[in-house]
Structure 1
């Protein structure tokens, strides 16, 4: 009889981000006064190209709140925001090694994401110790934890865009 934990980890490592079901609508809660600078900068420039917009979002990450409401009228769902922060094609790959390598890349480059990921595995786990003994972990477990951490990370971004 298969081990239920192994069956679950295998399943969780294969979850597609396109399949996440989120509540689609909620009332818009745009803090217009807090975003006055971002709004003024948007209004002062025309036309925008993709590079200008990309630089603007990097410089003013809270502006994403504005775009959430423009593009969805009411709300981007967390699952939709994942597409802007992560490479969903890689996340949904059937090649576990490709997802694993993408996980390692994100852990190296994003300190906030790393902190959430390591905390999900073990409250006291440090990055250097994790990397030294990474081969002791089941790859599917690490990928499943990676996907779980993405949801936690997106929730944190929605509360504080400065995380980006």
Structure 2
């Protein structure tokens, strides 16, 4: 019997803050407020269980354990007072899945047009998994995939299908 490409599990207990701002003007203020280095395009910076990821030229995502979110949100709001910025707790609208195993990149390759195998260690890639918008980054022996909670069941189903032995899914 063939072995699964990866193990899929939903991650609990993470919180997320979406940050929209002119990163050239406000980036260092944001970085100081959350005690993380501002990431370069398509990369992340991490400290302990917190991660700051570059999503676009004017957008970052801060991921941290849920109990830290209220304090981080308050710190960001205070630091960005007077800046043209948006800081929103998006924890309840997102879902995160772990895709773990030596062949996790092959499972993602069935669903995503992005090249997971060559993603840098600190990389963050926005893409799609089949028809759902998502982002993914390296985590442990595999990846973490973030998507909208409204399509959580769909994401779980396609991830489990892609990880199953012998499946061939077309991401288009």
Return the TM-score normalized by structure 1. Answer: 0.23
Pick the structure with greater CA Rg. Answer: 1
Q: Specify which structure has the bigger relative contact order, considering alpha-carbon pairs within 8 angstroms and separated by 6 or more residues.
A: 1
| Greater share of residues in strand | 2
Return the TM-score normalized by structure 2. Answer: 0.22
